[in-house]
Amino acid sequence: MTHRISGVSRVSRTSGRTRVVAVGIGAGMVLSSAVGAFAPAAVAAPPTVSCTSGQAGLAEKLKKDITAALAKRKGTVAVGLYDRVTKTTCTLRGDMAYDSASVVKVTVLAALLWDAKKTNRYLTDRETKLATAMITKSDNASTSTLWKQLGMKKIKGFLTAAKMTQTKPGANNYWGLTQITVRDEQRLLALLTAKNTVLSDNSRAYVLKLMNQVVSSQRWGTPAGAPSTVKVHVKNGWLSRATHGWRVHSVGTFKGGGRDYTITVLTHGNADMKYGVNTIQGVAKAIHKDLVPVTTSASTQRYVPTDQPREATVPVPEAAGTTGG
């Protein structure tokens, strides 16, 4: 009997130890999970400029200089660069969406020309007048007229043909709230600067001609620092809203000096328009300097944009913002 009691006693003590150990393991797991739950999440590193090039050393130089130009700038900036001659590409936040403001006007004109090409017709005198005002003066009324004339079906049709799959047209005729990305803007500029099946050669030449004739007060942004040997084509936009502060954008194509390149810079979170303009122009100056370095006195003249940049006021819902261009 003593043995049995002793046996029971031994078993009980063993089970007790087992239970204590089990509880200890469980507590450790709970404690470990709790610590993991309350541990601070790792902060994702901000995206960096990515460059590739067929010219030795150019990608590294561009990455360094674009990064330096943005080092002390506030706001959120997206950059796209492509040079057809050296097969050079640079990208920063290529897929991030921004409100388009007036930059979308190039897309509107391209869609109009694409649609006209499908029926093998020229633009009418009325359409030509509207297109000229829309691009060279950034006229909003002309843009609204053409936007409504095209309608959402044709606008989306062009975006599909152009493979601008990230671009989302603004609803309720608020074309200035179209969502754009660097990737898609660079796709559009590529269509304007090389032969393709989406836009005819005459259409491409027409868009570039108007972008070269933009009024002086709106020729800021990506042309900053372009050498005199390079022909400039530009379209800009700005928009101030309750969220993300000032959006300030610039797209441009540049040809000459042995180069054929496109630049897109999109920004938001700027304190005011001038701050965004200065950010864009800092990036542009670095790109032009690296792509077309000054080698002789004959090419020392570089493009200095207006110190009083202007844009038209883009219509947006009153509840969501104030002014823009």
Out of 19-28, 210-219, 261-270, 281-290, which region has the weakest mean confidence (pLDDT)? 19-28
Specify the amino acid at residue 56: A
Contact 77, 37 (CB under 8 A): no
d(CA 25, CA 31): 10
According to DSSP, residue 94 is labeled T
pLDDT score at 251? 98
What average pLDDT does the segment 160-182 reach? 97
Residues with Cβ within 8 Å of residue 22, at least 6 apart in sequence: none
If you average pLDDT over each of 12-21, 181-190, 240-249, 287-296, which comes out highest?
A: 181-190
pLDDT score at 312? 84
Tokens of 26: 């469980």
d(CA 157, CA 171): 16
d(CA 289, CA 286): 5
Q: Where are the beta strands (DSSP E) in the chain?
A: 50-52, 76-83, 88-92, 98-99, 179-180, 230-241, 246-256, 259-270, 321-324
Tokens of 154: 């044709």
pLDDT score at 10? 39
- Mean pLDDT value across the chain: 87
Q: Write down the pTM of the prediction.
A: 0.85
- Looking at the DSSP bridge assignments, the partners of residue 90 are 51, 81
pLDDT score at 54? 97
pLDDT tens for each residue of 252-290: 999 999 999 999 999 999 999 999 999 999 999 999 999
Residues with Cβ within 8 Å of residue 238, at least 6 apart in sequence: 101, 102, 246, 247, 248, 249, 273, 276, 311, 324, 325
d(CA 96, CA 27): 45
pLDDT score at 318? 74
d(CA 186, CA 265): 10
**Is the pLDDT higher at 319 or at 76?**
76
Of residues 89, 98, 68, the one with CA closest to residue 262: 89
pLDDT score at 151? 98
pLDDT score at 324? 56
pLDDT score at 319? 59
Query: Using CA atoms in the order 255, 265, 287, 198, what is the torsion angle rounded to 10 degrees?
Result: -30
Q: Where are the beta strands (DSSP E) in 84-145?
A: 88-92, 98-99
Largest CA distance in the chain: 116
pLDDT score at 300? 65
d(CA 124, CA 96): 36
Query: Using CA atoms in the order 249, 77, 229, 201, what is the torsion angle rounded to 10 degrees?
Result: -60
